[in-house]
Amino acid sequence: MFLNGLLFSLGAICCWGTALIFLKVRKVKDAGISPVVMTMFYSIGYLLTALLTAAVTHLTNVSPVHITIEGVLGGVLWGIGKLCTILAVTSPIGIAMGQSIQCCCNIVATFGSGLLTGESTWWPQFLGVCILMVGIAVVASPGMACTKSRLALVDPVPDVCSSQDSSELAHPSDRMTLSEHRHSVQAVQKSTGGISILLGAWLAAISGLFMGLQALPFKLGADQDSLSYAVSEALGQFLTILTLFSGARLWGLAEGFRAGVPIGLLAGLAGGGLLFAAALCNTYAVQEIGLVGSCLSQLNMVVAGTWGIGLFHEITDRRLIVVFFSGTAIAISGASLLEWAPN
């Protein structure tokens, strides 16, 4: 049981950590698709993957799927959380800081839910949660440094994301003028829907809260199987995102849906499929090791950061890479303590 729970958690970590990389693919970024529209594309991919999984299991008589109220409720929580996540990570705070805040709040909400539902805990697990959150903050710090460098308003500091020597940037022609940088900041604000840094941080925190609670209905419900809950979640999140998307369209905040279909929908299908796989694995993990044990799924940020370094070359400075993997070691040590069950 314990080993199965760890394996399912590992699946959730890998799938969650990979799902958002499609937002960073050059063609998707160059398309300038609204975050609300991309959330809708991800939601469609999530639902279609869930329906395909349900159809395959039904045709093969592996497991009958039933739509449950608890699962739909979990999907509503997931839908709100995921919209806030995408708004946060595409805001000026960036993916690193946004995911750091989201993951820490997610851990607190999930761990608290486990306590409230009567799961047995002891002091090493409390220590493990604290160490895990510290590790996540350290993992995010290189990306935060990059964000701070990009958003400096006057006389920007050298780009700490690259290994270029600072002396090479000393020539005045290498520095932005105030006017040029204002135009750059305005472009960032336009691409993020005018979301401020403070609002982005609040959205990340709200996202963590809702995402941390999305498995609580499963734990509270009686006689639920993980697959039915995950498929019901897919329906709940789709209805939630569709409602929010429709409202945004009426307010003129989600333009360009049709124009984004050729590129955005493909990315959404891939990313949404991974999100369903992650949610399904996480639900099985909760069933096997409880809500407290499933907190280790927040190590997905390590996977996302590794993709950013290895695939997108977001950070090339060796010192920052060392900081990233040092934070990874801290987070893993905290996750290990988290899995110590009381006798």
pLDDT digits (tens, 9 = 90+) for 18-68: 998 898 888 888 888 888 888 899 999 999 999 999 999 988 887 789 999
Domain ranges of the chain: 2-123+178-299
Between 208 and 256, the more confident residue is 208
Q: Which of 42-51, 166-175, 263-272, 334-343 has the lowest mean pLDDT?
A: 166-175
Helix 123-151 with 300-310: angle, nearest 10 deg: 30
* 153 compared with 237, residue with greater pLDDT: 237
Residues in the chain: 343
Return the closest-CA partner of residue 302 out of 279, 334, 272.
334
How confident is the model over 226-282, as pLDDT tens digits?
999 999 999 999 999 999 999 888 887 777 777 788 899 999 999 999 999 999 999
pLDDT of residue 342: 58
| pLDDT tier at 152, thresholds 50, 70, 90 | low
Is the pLDDT at 173 greater than 70? The verdict is no
Q: pTM of the prediction?
A: 0.83
- Give the separation between CA 96 and CA 340, rounded to whole angstroms: 29
